[in-house]
Structure 1
Amino acid sequence: MHGIHTIDTGFGRPAFDAAYLVVERGRGAFIDSGTAHSVPRFLQALRTAGLRTCDVDWVILTHVHLDHAGGAGELLTHLPNARLAVHPRGARHMIDPAALVAGATAVYGEAAMRRDYGDITPVASDRVVEASDGFAIDLAGRALLCLDTPGHAKHHIAIHDERANAFFTGDVFGLSYRELDTARGPFIIPTTSPVQFDPDEAHASIDRMLRYAPEAMYLTHYDRVEDVARLAQDLHEQIDAMVAIGRRHAGDPDRERRIADEFAALYVDRAQGHGVTLAPESVVALLEVDIRLNAQGMAVWLDRAAR
């Protein structure tokens, strides 16, 4: 639709992590890059779309978390004419990814890093373009507007595609897995990050995107969703509920576990209200990683807010 091709990056599980190829008059732009292991899927997407590697002008990163950006350097080695657009706060991490690698290795371990993300290839500085707020990309006459959208991360942009009247939202518009779709449409929950979640900024970024009256959002996790106004309201309600849960357990010695347990109950309750018929334990299993990360993100925000 509108020359937008969804790429399952292969990270995590099927239909979990998406990137996109936007095609306009024989020219291409990738939105996000997946991991280094994802590169063959991107090259196949080009072949399927009838494009050559030299026809790609841009790789645009919503933010530099490794499931979105870890493969950018390796992908660019195959794209001789492409430049990398990234939030100004993320540009240095693409040029020298040592800090990203060290941080992720400390969390996951070296073996898991190599298994899940592969080698993180630096990007030459002369190929990196800082996409500050309002930065406009012209893809063969197609306007792609980059907006600063913090909340999930300080180095996050959302990309408005004027022709499609849609946003590529990275993680700032939550996550929505197709297994939880019902007759009422997609089910959505917010996604924090372990270090930079900010609920006020998340609310503001969602509202800013809504002012463009988009007909669809293209999520990293996962794919195109419509019914945008309803989903935005769901996100606003859940962000507030999550903050209330976090504050209720702020002083608990085992607060992260307690927060995670209440987040799980919140999401199950809302899923059931949405008509999801999976057993509660199946919903929790599907969202297990996200519940854990959301609890971590909330704990970090509570510490920062208390200072």
Structure 2
Amino acid sequence: MAIHGIHTIDTGFVRPRFDAAYLIVENGRGAFIDCGTNHSVPRMLAALVDAGITAADVDWLILTHVHLDHAGGAGELIARLPNAQLLVHPRGARHMIDPSVLWAGASAVYGEAVMEQEYGRLRPVAAERVVEAQDGYIASLAGRPLHCLDTPGHAKHHIAIHDKQADVCFTGDVFGLSYREFDTAKGPFILPTTSPVQFDPEELHASIDRLLALQPVAMYPTHFGRIEDITRLAVDLHVQIDAMVALALEADAGPDRHARLVDGLTGLYAARAHAHGWNQGHVVLEQLLHMDIELNAQGLEVWLDRIAR
């Protein structure tokens, strides 16, 4: 059910309720926020039908950042939205116009075959359809202002979108990961994401505080869906960022840095989930968070190498 015209779309990436995109509808006009991968495009178009609008009614495709689980399908989707512009951080714009660097970087890690299977070939977006979202840029959706905020820490090309009318923020990855499988009677569970390659703890702390200062009633992270109890969750994020940095510095002092980081992060999240009243055990936790733990470990290692230079 849409709240204030906001529809949550499961992009189908990885598993159910892992990766979300959003559709905002105002007076018959639409704006997508993030879009998943090429394989998500049919779900995005189906969401328009469910919301009672057409592809021609979409004015914006807004990307929180250009990591492929958020933006991999942007080229394919915008090609099907005849009147839409693509709005992205200035640092991300060139990667939408020419995605070859994005493709090469990800392919070096995962391999061409995996990239084709998981994401599909990245399609360029015509430069004249790309709008750069400087800090404070306002995208108007049928008169509904969507305020773009520069929010680094997870990535230098990250924006969050403040929807003042709905009193919510769309946070991409800067306000952490909150999977519905970890919900308990205490509410949603949350953890930061430090995935490669631009994690900066001080910037991430500052971006979280900037969003908290807006006092929204809810956040909409990409992973996954609407969350409330924002003040508690922000505290949880701050505490964990500091704990993760401490783990990284400790692991950096000895051998087998990566393995030690993976073990330390797993233990941190398991302890916090247990304290949150989640009791499904280590095996299930590792199944659900394996990818995030691995990426967080890699992101912390890139940060360690950067500060050592």
1:32 aligns with 34
Distance in 2 separating the partners of 1:252 and 1:151 = 26
2:266 aligns with 264
Distance in 1 separating the partners of 2:84 and 2:5 = 18
Q: Is 1:15 matched with 2:10?
A: no
What amino acid is the match of 2:97?
A: I
What are the superposed Cα offsets for residues 233-275 of structure 1, whole Å, 9 maximum, x if unpaired? Answer: 0000000000000001113231011011000000000000000
- Aligned pairs for 1:174-253 (under 5 A) are 174-253=176-255
Distance in 2 separating the partners of 1:289 and 1:261 = 13
What are the superposed Cα offsets for residues 250-304 of structure 1, whole Å, 9 maximum, x if unpaired? Answer: 1323101101100000000000000001112211221010000000000000111
Q: Is the 8 A contact 2:195 2:297 kept in 1?
A: no
Instruction: Name the SS for the 1:15 alignment partner.
Output: coil
What amino acid is the match of 2:257?
A: R
What amino acid is the match of 2:304?
A: L
Q: Is 1:165 matched with 2:138?
A: no
Instruction: Name the SS for the 1:58 alignment partner.
Output: strand
Instruction: Name the SS for the 2:252 alignment partner.
Output: coil
What amino acid is the match of 1:61?
A: L
What amino acid is the match of 2:20?
A: A
2:154 aligns with 152
Work out which of the residue numbers 1, 4, 7 in structure 1 matches 2:6: 4
RMSD: 0.6
Instruction: Name the SS for the 2:146 alignment partner.
Output: strand
2:125 aligns with 123
Instruction: Name the SS for the 1:92 alignment partner.
Output: helix
What are the superposed Cα offsets for residues 211-242 of structure 1, whole Å, 9 maximum, x if unpaired? Answer: 10011000100000000000000000000000
Distance in 2 separating the partners of 1:250 and 1:279 = 28
What amino acid is the match of 2:224?
A: Y
2:95 aligns with 93
Unmatched tracts of structure 2, length 5 or more: none
Distance in 2 separating the partners of 1:111 and 1:272 = 38
TM-aligned CA deviation for residue 75 of structure 1 = 0.2
Aligned structure 1 segments of 4 or more residues deviating by more than 3 angstroms: none
What are the superposed Cα offsets for residues 94-137 of structure 1, whole Å, 9 maximum, x if unpaired? Answer: 00000000001001111100000012110000000000100001
What amino acid is the match of 1:240?
A: D
Distance in 1 separating the partners of 2:270 and 2:195 = 21
What are the superposed Cα offsets for residues 153-183 of structure 1, whole Å, 9 maximum, x if unpaired? Answer: 0000000011111110000000011010000
- Aligned pairs for 1:54-73 (under 5 A) are 54-73=56-75
- Aligned pairs for 1:292-303 (under 5 A) are 292-303=294-305
Of the structure 1 ranges 280-289 and 97-106, higher mean CA displacement relative to structure 2 is found in 280-289
Q: Is 1:139 matched with 2:141?
A: yes
What amino acid is the match of 1:290?
A: D
Q: Is the 8 A contact 2:192 2:241 kept in 1?
A: yes
Instruction: Name the SS for the 2:69 alignment partner.
Output: helix
